[in-house]
Amino acid sequence: MTELSPVTEATATKAPAPKKLAVPDTQTVTSVQHWTDRLFSFRVTRPASLRFRSGEFVMIGLMQTDEKTGKEKPLLRAYSIASPSWDEELEFYSIKVQDGPLTSRLQHIQPGDEIILRPKPVGTLVHDALLPGKRLWLFATGTGIAPFASLLRDPQTYEDYEEVILTHTCREVGELQYGKELIDQIRTDELLAELMGEGFHEKLRYYPTTTREESPKMGRITDLMRCGECFEDLGVPELSPETDRAMVCGNLAFNLEIKEMLEGYGLEEGANSDPKQYVVEKAFLD
Ligand code: A2P
């Protein structure tokens, strides 16, 4: 798919553009945080014209030299926007793959650096793709928490549901830290609380689990649901198509497994054009 980018003011001028302005759609990195040797998050400036729905993703990346032609060309990957739609900057949460074409380089970005960001948000993890319901489940593994970091800071999430449950399964405890700090921020930030509306604190539930390092709750979320432990812990019944809605974002094997389970509970997959009871998106991997 080729994308035509809007001509920016800088590239529209007649004077020869300096090299860094030859690339359309650049944004400036404002902060970078490394969470583990496999995970980092970063914030960039937001194009003034960019509107998106919480949960959507955009293509971001860096320039790279084409080995055959020697020409510079963009190397782009899909990244969920982790920040809410009202935020003046954009936040992303990424894995670091040491030999990954993009993340092996992206992990070294510093404030002031430029990245490419195509301002065309899309995605299915949006409220519009779900029918009204009582309880919203957000099922994430690894960096799949990113779109939910956006949705959990969106007031609409709490307006639309009586209960919002985030489950996050990671291999190790350190990989839960981004999510833990996100939930802490949502629970303690007074400005955020004001924005979210009354009673949202009681609606938000958080269920982190690890699979390869000891933590208070161990096991894959799929196994914990199958044996009923997850529902017992949370004090809620198994999912039902009448009351429950779900959004899923994780690795491919997880997505497929939980999709089958959700279908087993009687939920059907929705889309922007055909809202139903659950939606799925694959977390970005380099
Ligand atoms: P596990 O350690 O048992 O493989 P990854 O870092 O590989 O993307 O995995 C993130 C988390 O998702 C890990 O805790 C992993 O558990 C879990 N996971 C992987 N596949 C599945 C699956 N099919 N169902 C549930 N959880 C899964």
Q: Are strands 72-80 and 135-141 parallel, antiparallel or unpaired?
A: unpaired
pLDDT, tens digit, 9 for 90 and up, residues 13-42: 444 444 454 677 999 999 999 999 999 999
Find the helix or strand (DSSP H, E) in which 64 lies. Answer: strand 57-65
What's the rounded mean pLDDT across residues 95-108? 95
pLDDT attached to residue 17: 40
Which of 118, 119, 20 lies closest to 72 in space, CA to CA? 20
pLDDT attached to residue 215: 98
Q: Which sequence spans correspond to the domains of the chain? A: 23-122, 127-282
- Give residues with Cβ within 8 angstroms of 30, minimum separation 6: 43, 44, 45, 89, 111
pLDDT, tens digit, 9 for 90 and up, residues 56-68: 999 999 999 988 8
Three-state DSSP at 183 gives helix
pLDDT attached to residue 190: 84
Write out residues with Cβ below 6 Å of ligand 1: 141-142, 169-171, 211-212, 220, 222, 251, 253-254, 257
Q: How far is the CA of 160 from the centre of ligand 1 (A)?
A: 30
CA 11/CA 93 separation, integer angstroms:
30
CA 150/CA 70 separation, integer angstroms:
38
**Domain 127-282 coded CATH 3.30.460.10:** no
Q: How far is the CA of 37 from the centre of ligand 1 (A)?
A: 18
Q: How far is the CA of 218 from the centre of ligand 1 (A)?
A: 12
**CATH T-level fold of 23-122:** Elongation Factor Tu (Ef-tu); domain 3 (2.40.30)
pLDDT attached to residue 172: 97
pLDDT band at residue 2 under the 50/70/90 scheme: very low
pLDDT, tens digit, 9 for 90 and up, residues 228-238: 999 999 999 99
Ligand 1, atom 19, residue with closest C-alpha: 254
Torsion, CA 13, CA 18, CA 20, CA 22, rounded to 10: 50
Q: Which residue type, as a one-letter code, is found at position 37? A: D
Whether the per-residue pLDDT at 126 is higher than 70: the answer is: yes
pTM over 0.75: yes
pLDDT attached to residue 68: 87
CA 71/CA 69 separation, integer angstroms:
5
Alpha helices in 137-284 (DSSP H): 146-151, 155-160, 177-188, 190-196, 200-203, 221-226, 229-234, 252-264
What's the rounded mean pLDDT across residues 252-257? 97
